[in-house]
């Protein structure tokens, strides 16, 4: 069976190494397999669940497309489009929200984290965000959804919503139940300043992450300043348990060089951090610098990026509007 791959990235700026290693690198790999049909969506409707400046949002949408392409996604083989250009997403989100249950959404940890203490002041969009995400996935009969570990709970919810909708309307498999594709290792890249916190776009300190638009010098400096502990690097993986920063940096090294954590631990056992960090900077610069340069080149070619989005819009709109029509019929409209 051909895999139908769907994933989304929010155009909220500061795409970073965590996005690349946790998600986009896998998108590229999957999209290079001829058997797969891939759709990559710039989820701009999700972005507005927190306040956005319209001008910045417009630029960030284009920058996300440029990032996809610079990382190696071929727009002639995969569909790349922005969510708001396909009205079926908002519409299906409403239809599905009548099958989704408050109790299910109440359990979402991302909402709890993002809303913080003041839940009453959070937008309704932030709360119902995972229903829109379910609509994104289910409209395309997606079979597999590559994401970082932080999205696992949202995918489980998507599966529950699909199941409930199928039961509500008495048709098995009308909405396909998708499988998450989460990498076993390195599915959660942590902050360079605190190995217990996720590397994140919204973290105030820029030195906590490596942005995909950072130049060579910034990458080297950020790695130099990255938090470590005082011990030399360990000789076994077990010794990393209480050492989150060492584990994260070795994990980043392994993921970038496509090797296992075991092998990286063996390569650097007993060495001090300064020597390891030089190696880490070098492999990061080798991998990230060409991507950065390509993003910076593409970002000026607005016409090219808009054409890709328009082409993707046409293809995605056709598939999604047909699925919504079928939903309408099933629901008695
Ligand atoms: P977002 O930027 O929240 O739209 O995330 C885009 C993709 O990157 C999703 O699949 C996330 O799971 C993934 N992602 C975001 N941050 C990290 C991280 N620190 N480590 C691994 N994956 C991440
Ligand atoms: N919620 C995802 C994130 O923040 C982005 C997203 C939206 C997504 N719709 C999606 C991911 C559909 C996969 C499939 O990272």
Q: Of all protein residues, whose CA lies closest to atom 8 belonging to ligand 2?
A: 8
The span from the CA of 211 to the CA of 297, in Å, is: 16
% residues pLDDT > 70 (the chain) = 100
3-state secondary structure 21-52: HHHHHHHHHHHCCCCCEEEEEECHHHHCCCCC
116 Rama class: left (phi>0) / alpha (psi -120 to 50) / beta: left
Question: In whole angstroms, what separates CA 154 from the centre of its chain?
Answer: 12
The reply to whether 198 belongs to the active site is yes
Q: Report whether pLDDT(3) > 90.
A: yes
pLDDT band at 14 (very low <50, low <70, confident <90, very high): confident
The span from the CA of 111 to the CA of 168, in Å, is: 26
Of residues 301 and 119, more confidence is placed in 301
Ligand 1 neighbourhood includes 9 CB (under 6 angstroms): yes
Ligand 2 neighbourhood includes 6 CB (under 6 angstroms): yes
Which ligand has its closest atom nearest to the C-alpha of 26? 1
pLDDT band at 118 (very low <50, low <70, confident <90, very high): confident
Ligand 2 neighbourhood includes 268 CB (under 6 angstroms): no
CB burial of residue 42 (10 Å; 0-12, 13-18, 19+): buried
Where do the DSSP E strands lie in the chain?
4-9, 37-42, 79-82, 144-146, 179-181
Cα four-point dihedral sign 248, 249, 254, 256: positive
Average pLDDT over every residue of 12-31: 95
Distance 282 CA to ligand 2 centre (A): 31
Average pLDDT over every residue of 159-163: 98
The reply to whether 117 belongs to the active site is no
Cα four-point dihedral sign 278, 281, 287, 291: negative
Atom of ligand 1 nearest to the CA of 15: 2
Q: Report whether pLDDT(16) > 90.
A: yes
pLDDT value of residue 34: 93
CA dist list (Å): 292 to 109, 199, 268 = 32, 18, 28
Contact indicator for 161, 96 with CB cutoff of 8 Å: yes
Tens-digit pLDDT profile for residues 45-99: 999 999 999 999 999 999 999 999 999 999 999 999 999 999 999 999 999 999 9
Ligand 1 neighbourhood includes 188 CB (under 6 angstroms): yes
Contact indicator for 255, 263 with CB cutoff of 8 Å: no
Q: Report whether pLDDT(275) > 90.
A: yes
Name the DSSP class of 210.
-
CA dist list (Å): 39 to 33, 136, 183, 300 = 13, 10, 19, 24
pLDDT value of residue 191: 98
pLDDT band at 102 (very low <50, low <70, confident <90, very high): very high
% residues pLDDT > 90 (the chain) = 95
pLDDT value of residue 36: 97
Q: Report whether pLDDT(184) > 90.
A: no
Ligand 1 neighbourhood includes 147 CB (under 6 angstroms): yes
How far from each other are the two terminal CA atoms of the chain, in whole angstroms? Answer: 33
CB burial of residue 217 (10 Å; 0-12, 13-18, 19+): exposed
φ/ψ (deg, to 5) at 283: -70, -35
Contact indicator for 29, 222 with CB cutoff of 8 Å: no
Pull the structure tokens for residue 130: 């995972």
Distance 42 CA to ligand 2 centre (A): 9
Q: Report whether pLDDT(206) > 90.
A: yes
pLDDT band at 179 (very low <50, low <70, confident <90, very high): very high
pLDDT value of residue 186: 82
Average pLDDT over every residue of 233-242: 94
Q: Which of 3, 201, 227, 287 is catalytic?
A: 201
The H-assigned helical ranges of 240-301 are 244-256, 261-268, 273-298
């Amino acid at each position: 069976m051909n895999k139908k791959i769907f994933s989304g990235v929010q155009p909220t700026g500061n795409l970073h190494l965590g996005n690349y290693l946790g998600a986009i690198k896998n998108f590229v790999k999957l999209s290079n397999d001829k058997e797969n049909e891939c759709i990559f969506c710039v989820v701009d409707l999700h972005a507005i669940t927190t306040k956005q400046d319209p001008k910045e949002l417009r630029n960030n949408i284009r920058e996300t497309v440029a990032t996809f392409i610079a990382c190696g996604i071929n727009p002639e083989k995969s569909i790349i489009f922005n969510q708001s250009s396909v009205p079926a997403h908002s519409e299906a989100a409403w239809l599905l929200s009548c099958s989704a249950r408050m109790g299910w959404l109440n359990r979402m940890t991302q909402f709890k984290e993002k809303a913080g203490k003041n839940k009453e002041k959070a937008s309704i969009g932030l709360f119902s965000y995972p229903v829109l995400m379910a609509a994104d996935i289910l409209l395309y009969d997606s079979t597999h959804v590559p994401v970082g570990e932080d999205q696992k709970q949202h995918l489980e919810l998507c599966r529950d919503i699909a199941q409930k909708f199928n039961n509500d309307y008495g048709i098995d498999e009308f909405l396909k139940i998708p499988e998450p594709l989460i990498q076993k290792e390195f599915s959660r890249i942590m902050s360079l300043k605190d190995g217990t916190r996720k590397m994140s776009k919204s973290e105030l300190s820029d030195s906590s992450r490596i942005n995909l638009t950072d130049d060579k010098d910034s990458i080297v400096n950020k790695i130099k300043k990255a938090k470590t502990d005082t011990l030399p690097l360990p000789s076994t993986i077990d010794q990393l348990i209480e050492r989150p920063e060492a584990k994260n940096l070795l994990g980043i090294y392994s993921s970038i060089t496509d090797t296992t954590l075991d092998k990286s631990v063996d390569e650097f056992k007993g060495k001090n951090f300064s020597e390891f960090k030089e190696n880490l900077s070098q492999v990061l610069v080798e991998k990230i610098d060409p991507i950065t340069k390509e993003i910076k080149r593409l970002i000026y070619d607005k016409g090219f990026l808009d054409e890709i989005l328009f082409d993707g819009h046409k293809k995605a709109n056709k598939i999604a509007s047909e699925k919504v029509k079928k939903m309408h019929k099933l629901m008695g409209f």
